[in-house]
């Protein structure tokens, strides 16, 4: 019986495993799925059992169990996924290939939060294997990549289904402006974004830029306002050219200057120092996250924007929720038969924008779509 048939047979419910359960984003995924009837069981996997158990106890809603797992051990990984319908991988992106192959072995669908371009390229190579197995591997279903991919599909559709240029921009601010070190999401992910060479699409060809290349001043909606941005490495740039026909594409990120400076310091630190900083850092529960996708064709422009505010009932800020909620939403769509594609696919290839937006609007997200005439 396939995952899709299994969900239907059990009344549109799925058994779900969350990998990296003790990390920064996973607790929000667990919290979301704990209040989702489409998830009938949550198995929380982490190399640190104490952290996984703490997530289960605090956010699992009585339907989560914790297990210790080294995801680089193929046999242990396959055993952990026995009888699991879908794995949500919130671990470091370097784990993605191990997790995908374990899902193929046991017959589980797969969702992750992104592969930072180069890893996603490798993961797309498993497309035919997932098709042959009748399984879906949804690659990059966080905020960016993920929600932004689907926003790009909506923006492009507003232009008639094709875009010449697409710019993706992300920013965040803390409503309480704490003096301490409070990154908006996982420290390691931020370090990778700031230190690896970003890729942009120019004349239909990928072009590497230097890390921290200036991307100008971005006029964000309130409460952010005008803020400086840099180009960063993101998986959207890998698939947008073929998905939407665009020859120009970029991803821009805006961070508080003090936070950016601290992240650059950590990039040069030892692994132990990074781990200590990551353990000490607690993302603020008062962040507001903004994502914008601008698509252009001829003299027409479409912008899809999303502001994600803190979810008070979870005690979590918008930056964390924006990344976690799309993955949890994909689980619900999968369980209800609204997500039925097979293969290893980016979100724009298989997730309906209207359906996703409805799911996220109950998780602090506010979407807007605007069209205009005139090129930027």
Other Cβ atoms within 10 Å of 221 Cβ, number = 15
CA distance 43 to 81: 9
Q: For the whole model, what pTM was predicted?
A: 0.94
Helix (H) or strand (E) run with residue 42 in it: strand 39-46
pLDDT in the model for residue 263? 76
List the chain residues with pLDDT less than 70.
1, 5, 7-9, 177-182, 184-185, 275, 277-282, 374-376
- What domains are defined for the chain? 3-138 (3.40.50.720), 147-318+352-373 (3.30.360.10)
pLDDT in the model for residue 309? 96
CA distance 44 to 19: 6
CA distance 96 to 113: 9
Q: Are strands 109-112 and 199-202 parallel, antiparallel or unpaired?
A: unpaired
The pLDDT tens digits of the residues spanning 169-203 come to 999 988 876 555 667 667 777 788 888 899 999 99
pLDDT in the model for residue 184? 67
374 burial via Cβ count (<10 Å: 0-12, 13-18, 19+): exposed
Q: Are strands 205-208 and 199-202 parallel, antiparallel or unpaired?
A: antiparallel
Count of alpha carbons within 13 angstroms of residue 320, beta-carbon side: 28
Three-state SS letters, 307-355: EECCECCCCECHHHHHHHHHHHHHHHHHHCCCCCCCEEECHHHCCCHHH
For 357, the token pair is 């937006």
pLDDT in the model for residue 281? 66
């Amino acid at each position: 019986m396939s995952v899709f048939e299994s969900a239907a047979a059990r009344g549109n419910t799925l058994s779900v495993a969350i990998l990296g359960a003790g990390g920064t984003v996973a607790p929000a995924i667990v919290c979301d799925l704990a209040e989702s009837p489409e998830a009938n069981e949550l198995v929380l996997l982490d190399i640190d059992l104490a952290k996984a158990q703490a997530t289960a106890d605090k956010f699992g809603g009585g339907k989560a169990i914790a297990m210790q797992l080294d995801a680089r051990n193929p046999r242990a990984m396959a055993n952990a996924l026995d009888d699991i319908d879908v794995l949500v991988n919130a671990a470091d992106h370097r784990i993605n290939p191990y997790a995908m192959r374990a899902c193929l072995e046991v017959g589980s669908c797969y969702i992750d939060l992104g592969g930072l371009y180069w890893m996603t390229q490798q993961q797309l190579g498993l497309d035919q294997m997932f098709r042959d197995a009748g399984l879906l591997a949804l690659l990059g279903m966080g905020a960016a990549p993920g929600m932004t991919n689907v926003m790009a599909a909506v923006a492009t559709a507003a232009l008639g289904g094709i875009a010449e240029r697409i710019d993706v921009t992300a920013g965040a601010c803390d409503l309480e402006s704490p003096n301490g070190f409070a990154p908006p999401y996982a420290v390691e992910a931020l370090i990778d974004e700031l230190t690896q060479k970003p890729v942009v699409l120019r004349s239909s060809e990928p072009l590497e830029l230097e890390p921290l290349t200036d991307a100008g001043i971005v006029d964000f909606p309130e409460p952010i306002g005008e803020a400086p941005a840099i180009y960063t490495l993101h998986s959207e740039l890998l698939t947008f050219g073929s998905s939407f026909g665009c020859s120009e594409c970029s991803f821009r990120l805006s961070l508080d200057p003090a936070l950016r400076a601290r992240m650059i310091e950590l990039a040069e630190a030892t692994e132990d120092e990074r781990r200590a900083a990551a353990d000490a850092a607690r993302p603020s529960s008062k962040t507001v996250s903004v994502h914008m996708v601008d698509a252009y064709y001829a003299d027409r422009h479409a912008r899809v924007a999303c502001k994600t505010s803190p979810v008070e009932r979870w005690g979590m800020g918008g930056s964390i929720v924006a990344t976690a909620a799309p993955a949890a939403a994909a689980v619900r769509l999968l369980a209800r038969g609204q997500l039925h594609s097979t293969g290893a696919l980016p979100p724009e290839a298989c997730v309906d924008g209207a359906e996703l937006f409805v799911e996220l609007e109950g998780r602090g997200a506010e979407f807007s779509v605007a069209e205009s005439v005139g090129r930027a």
